[in-house]
Structure 1
Amino acid sequence: MTGRLALASAGVGLLAVVSLFVGVGDVTLASLSGDAGDSGQAAQILLISRIPRTLALILAGAAMAVAGLILQMLARNKFVEPSTAGTAESAVLGMLAVTLLAPDTPVIGRMLTASLFALGGTALFLAILRRMPLRSPLVVPLVGIMLGAVITAGTEFVAYRYDLMQSVRNWETGDFSGVLRGRYELLWISAALTGVAYVAADRFTVAGLGEDFTTNLGLNHRRVVSLGLVIVSLVTAAVIATCGMIPFLGLIVPNVISLMWGDNMRRSLPWVALLGAGLVLACDIVGRLVIHPYEIPIGTMMGMVGSGIFLYLLLRKNGHAS
């Protein structure tokens, strides 16, 4: 187990190194060790742009994958994640609200406001699930997608009225091209919350077995659920405030890991974080190379990859059910 984790970490590290040297600017080992002028310029690009971008990719990928895992535990459904539960869409609505009502709010204030909206949207989604007479595994994410569509429609209507559609599009589409030193540090909060999730992993695993089972073991089910929702909301808001929405990441990564390691969250969480970081790094690298010197945003890349895997998981589940 430890050896495999070390090997997986080495793979993510290799992708991170590749990410440092992919882009429009000339950053190579030769340019870094060349003439003083060339090496100075290459070092500046590396320090100001490439390293922050790579760190942002790792932090956002790991945190969003773990957030998806937590949400699946709490909703007790494998097809739920922030972009299929109204969480991400509510965070975008929060970003729009603070932009309209308090445009001078600092970034941390915008993130906290977005997290409150995300918390409300997720709580609404879970409340709808509790009222559903039939909780089919295939129906649950569709309910979340419809809820997200309603929230998005309202958000874009208000944004259109106030000429803020471009800002909303930036929050709705993940893009790391604008990440620079000083513009990604908010994601370290996501890293800290991932650590909190690992500490509370056993509680989330028990909570995923139901309220009665959790209560019989002496745990406060409501507190565990509240902690999970706060983590998911803060992580989603931090990622959206920094680089925009990354769809399907929190859905496909936990499902892939679950097929290999089961549903014990403490055992699977490090794998979920590593695969999330690696998948985002890989998609970003491909997006920078396909139409070089231009690039495809990570939101578009993950949308294509994630939607295909999501469809496969739905059909696979449906085939097993029949």
Structure 2
Amino acid sequence: MVSLLGLLLVLAIVSLLVGVSDISFLDILSGESNDLKLLTLSRIPRTVALIITGIGISVCGLIMQQMTQNKFVSPTTAGTLDAVELGILGSLIFLPQENIYLKVFFALGITFFASLIFIKIADSIRYRSVIFIPIVGLLFGGIINSITTFFAFQFNIVQDVGAGQDSIGAWMMGDFSGILKGNYEPIFLCLPAVVITYWFANKFTVVGMGQDFAKNLGLNFRAVLNIGLFCVSLTVSSIVVTVGTIPFLGLVIPNIVSLFLGDNLRKTLPYTAIVGACFLLLCDVISRLLIFPFEVPIGMTVGLIGGVLFLILLLRKK
């Protein structure tokens, strides 16, 4: 744990220093105002957002895998990210002038409902094939994405990132380049959900064993299930509304951690959170240095690396 925290600190410092404009801590200590403004207005908010996103998405993936007892379930393979995009589209249509917090809670409602549907589907097919559930989840997400695309064109909210903040396409690809002080604060909404997740860790594991098993242990199956889905929905909604979709992060990190530490949720959850934050910081540094001084959206970098790792996991399970 100490070594992981040290790695997280090193990557965070590198994230603060990497960019088009060079920052020197010596200049900051000597009172250089421009470097201090750049650090406080852009670099620190971006690094904090990266760490929170890595923690939130990784923990969500771990919880979803525990509740479905399937290692290939995550926000990416359960339609959760697609549901958030549909919720964002709905907020752009019905709440075009409202603040970003209302957009988060509007997306939260859609995501929570979609998560209930997916859990119902997964519960009915869980014992047939471990690979079949994520495939169904991807199909489920594809249907939601098709609905989102249809209504985006119907209401002339085209998928064009350059069209401005009120374009649904602005949330289709994760990107931290626009994170500044004053526009990233909704991401902190996921922190209480992470704390609740750790508090209910053992109960989520019991829920994954099935409704009859949970009731035999005196656990309110439906209540705990809804708490877990609510935490996942709130975390993913606040992150996607703020920085966009980050694919495969919640799928790959919990699997990597479980390879070394097993499946004890309370034990692996802190490690999963830290490894997720380190992985996202590393991908962000790569995205900024890959075609320097330009920047590749981090969603593309994580999607590429995560997709390859997902394929390796599939072949390994086979």
TM-score strictly above 0.5: yes
Amino acid at match of 1:50: R
Deviation at 1:213, TM superposition (A): 1.8
8 Å Cα contact 2:85/2:168 also seen in 1: yes
1:118-175 deviations in whole A, cap 9, x for unaligned?
A: 1111111122223448631111101000111111111112112323223222212100
Matches of 1:111 and 1:177 in 2, distance apart?
20
In 2, the alpha carbon distance for the partners of 1:130 and 1:26 equals: 52
Is the deviation greater in 21-30 or in 161-170? Answer: 161-170
Q: Distance in 1 between matches of 2:135 and 2:170?
A: 24
Corresponding residue number in structure 2 for 1:78 = 71
The answer as to whether partners of 2:46 and 2:176 remain within 8 angstroms in 1 is yes
- Counterparts of residues 45-84 of structure 1 (less than 5 Å): 45-84=38-77
C-alpha separation in 1, matches of 2:252 and 2:23: 33
- The one-letter amino acid of 1:284's match is D
Letter in 2 for 1:194: V
- Computed over aligned residues only, the root mean square deviation of the Cα atoms, in angstroms, reads 1.3
Give the letter aligned to residue 195 of structure 2: G
Q: Percent identity?
A: 40
Give the distance between the partners of 1:293 and 1:33, measured in 2 at CA: 26
Q: Distance in 2 between matches of 1:280 and 1:250?
A: 11
Q: Give the conservation status (yes or no) of the 8 Å contact 2:68–2:119.
A: yes
State the match for 2:151 in structure 1: 158
Report the AA paired with residue 209 of structure 1. Answer: M
Q: Is the 8 Å Cα contact of residues 126 and 133 (structure 2) preserved in structure 1? A: no
**Cα distance in structure 2, aligned partners of 1:228 and 1:200:** 8
- Aligned partner of 2:275: which letter? L
Instruction: State which drifts further: 169-178 or 22-31.
Output: 22-31
Matched, 1:95 2:88: yes
5+ long unaligned stretches in structure 1: none
The equivalent residue for 1:316 is 316
Q: Check whether the contact 1:49–1:181 (CA below 8 A) recurs between aligned residues.
A: yes
Shift in Å at residue 316 of structure 1?
0.6
Q: Within 2, Cα distance between the matches of 1:222 and 1:175? A: 36
DSSP-derived class of the 1:44 partner: helix
Counterpart Cα distance in 1 of 2:311 and 2:144: 23
Q: Which residues of 2 match residues 241-252 of structure 1 at below 5 A?
A: 241-252=241-252
**Deviation of the 1:31 alpha carbon:** 3.7
Q: 1:255 matched to which residue of 2?
A: 255
Q: Give the whole-Å Cα distance in 1 for the aligned partners of 2:127 and 2:67.
A: 17
Q: Does the Cα contact within 8 Å between 1:95 and 1:113 map onto a contact in 2?
A: yes
User: Deviation at 1:26?
Assistant: 2.3
Q: What is the aligned partner in structure 1 of residue 15 from structure 2? A: 19
2:213 maps to 1:213? yes
1:1-322 residue pairs with structure 2 within 5 A?
5-33=1-29, 39-132=32-125, 135-164=128-157, 165-166=159-160, 167-318=167-318
Q: Report the residue type matching 1:6 in the other structure.
A: V
Can you give the 5+ residue segments of structure 2 that lack an aligned partner in the other structure? 161-166
User: SS in structure 1 opposite 2:185?
Assistant: coil
- Aligned-partner residue type, residue 114 of structure 1: A
CA distance in 2, matches of 1:134, 1:269: 25
Point out the more displaced range, 60-69 or 130-139. 130-139
Q: For the residues of structure 2 that align with 1:129 and 1:206, how far apart are their CA atoms?
A: 16
Q: In 1, distance between residues paired with 2:229 and 2:77?
A: 15
Instruction: Give the number of aligned pairs.
Output: 311
Shift in Å, 1:239: 0.5
Shift of 1:43: 0.6
Distance 1:89 1:143 in 2: 14
Tell me the amino acid that sits aligned with residue 20 of structure 2. Answer: V
Partners of 1:205 and 1:263 within 8 A in 2:
no
- Deviation of 1:30 after TM superposition, in Å, equals 4.2
> Given that residues 68 and 126 in structure 2 are in contact (C-alpha distance below 8 angstroms), is that contact kept between their aligned partners in structure 1?
no
- Taking a change above 3 Å as real, the CA distance of residues 221 and 129 of structure 1, as seen in their structure-2 partners, is same
C-alpha distance 42-133 of structure 1, shift in aligned 2 (>3 A) = closer
Give the alignment's TM-score, normalised by structure 2. Answer: 0.95
Counterpart-to-counterpart distance in 1, 2:139 and 2:10: 39
